[in-house]
Amino acid sequence: MRAVLDQSTLSNEERLLLLGSRIQLNEKEEELMRYLLKDGIDVPQLIGLASRHKVLQLMTPHLIRLDDEKKITTTYKFLLHYHYIGNRQKNMERFKELKRLLQTFRKAKLKAVPLKGAILTPLVYKDYGLRMMSDIDFLIHPDDRKRASSLLKEEGFIIGKYDWATDQEIPISREEEMMWRMNAGNLYSHIKRSGEDFLKVHRVDFSYDVELKKNYDATNALLDAANEKSFLQTDTYMLEPLDFLIHLAFHLYKEATNVQYVYLHADLNLIKFCDVREYVKFAEEQNQLDWHALQARAKELGAEKALFYTFTFVDLLYQTTYIDQLQQLDMSDQAFLEAYGENDFGSSKMWKKSFVERFFSLDNRDELEEEPVIQLFPERQ
């Protein structure tokens, strides 16, 4: 049974968030945005909500263009505009570094597959100002962890975090690095000073366990199927389109159901649902999306729950009907849609609040009945 979001229960700010978080708007969507802006909004609240969901820069062109009645003051328009162009400048610098890294990995014959925003920004969003990127993500084989880290260190990276107060890169301790390596599906962030004021540091994230099951079956299958293609004028291993979409679902489901991401306020960010919707539209336009083949591949990778969860809530937030295409998954027992914490506690717990309540909350730590034995609190700038 498809869940339906009652729009009458949402504030104007919440409705604008969902409506404006897309690359293109149709005529009906533009008119509704105009109406909501005219009806009145709390601009600071909208900015806070959009920032929490990492879509402020995506909404900005729509908000500025459709604010016919000047309900958003010039002061806030400056703030929105500067955020957008600052994000564009950051990403332009980030992609210069990405190209250098791809060439480094190719020369060293390291199979490092770019993921998420590294692909979505130039391929789908196209405008570098629209998609926020916290880091440059790669998928690597578990056996390549040490070599990947060594290559970055040769390029001037350290394993650590950036401290805003002191404007310094702080190496993490060996103990912290080992705890992270044993309990996370990715290496601790590698960072390097960028030389660009808008960016501060480059941050690279190597993922090697997409499911956090520690058997690496899905990771190995994704890497085995990756093929070399030209990307940023460099021959680069890339996931096949269906695998890329499944990886987006793996990533979304992992962060939505693991306690560690609740502490990071990253459990339910709209940008992840937006990415899936925009990539589906792109893949369909390119004739790269066969829904039957997608479901068959999901079964091979053990991604049925991740895929069903992802499209259930993409449909809820965006009022789409993609879940109708996933009947082959045969998900008759859907209790997992409200479960979390299996990797953290050894058994699943059930959320008390609804998905919508958690989605619009600024902090869901009040949901947690207990803390996990292992806590990972990376700093995200």
Backbone angles phi, psi at 230, to 5 degrees: -85, 125
Tens digit of pLDDT per residue, the chain (381 long)? 567 788 889 999 999 999 999 999 999 999 999 999 999 999 999 999 999 999 999 999 999 999 999 999 999 999 999 999 999 999 999 999 999 999 999 999 999 999 999 999 999 999 999 999 999 999 999 999 999 999 999 999 999 999 999 999 999 988 888 777 777 789 999 999 999 999 999 999 999 999 888 889 999 999 999 999 999 999 999 999 999 999 999 999 999 999 888 888 789 999 999 999 999 999 999 999 999 999 999 999 999 999 999 999 999 999 999 999 999 998 888 999 999 988 878 788 899 999 999 999 888 888 887 776 566 654 433
Convert 225-256 to b/e letters by CB count within 10 Å (16 or more is b). Answer: ebeeeebeebebbbbebbbbbbbbbbbbbbbb
229 has which bridge partners? 236
Q: Is the CB of residue 186 less than 8 Å from the CB of residue 159? A: no
Amino acid at the residue 48: G
3-class secondary structure, 201: strand
Contacts 24+ apart (CB under 8 A), 15-18: 16/41, 16/46, 16/59, 16/63, 17/46, 17/49, 17/50, 17/53, 17/55, 17/59, 17/270, 18/270, 18/317, 18/318
259 contacts: CB under 8 Å, gap ≥ 6: 340, 341, 344, 345, 368, 371, 372
Q: Can you give the pLDDT at residue 270?
A: 98
Q: Is the CB of residue 204 less than 8 Å from the CB of residue 190? A: yes
> Global pTM?
0.95
Q: Is the CB of residue 182 less than 8 Å from the CB of residue 214? A: no
Q: Is the CB of residue 244 less than 8 Å from the CB of residue 139? A: no
Q: Can you give the pLDDT at residue 378?
A: 44
Please give the structure tokens belonging to residue 343: 């990797």
Burial of residue 74 (number of CB atoms within 10 Å: 0-12, 13-18, 19+): exposed
Using alpha carbons, list the distances in angstroms from residue 26 to 9, 29, 46, 70, 144: 23, 5, 22, 21, 45
Q: Can you give the pLDDT at residue 272?
A: 98
DSSP line for 83-127:
HHHHHHHHHHHHHHHHHHHHHHHHHHT---EE-THHHHIIIII-S
Provide the 8-state DSSP code for 188.
Answer: P
Q: Can you give the pLDDT at residue 380?
A: 39
CA–CA gap between residue 367 and residue 137 (Å, rounded): 29
Amino acid at the residue 239: L
The CA-CA-CA angle for residues 255, 59, 164, to 5°, reads 60
349 has which bridge partners? 340
Q: Is the CB of residue 206 less than 8 Å from the CB of residue 138? A: yes
> Helices 145-154 and 74-108 sit at what angle, rounded to 10 degrees?
110
Q: Can you give the pLDDT at residue 315?
A: 97
Q: Is the CB of residue 17 less than 8 Å from the CB of residue 49? A: yes
Q: Can you give the pLDDT at residue 176?
A: 83
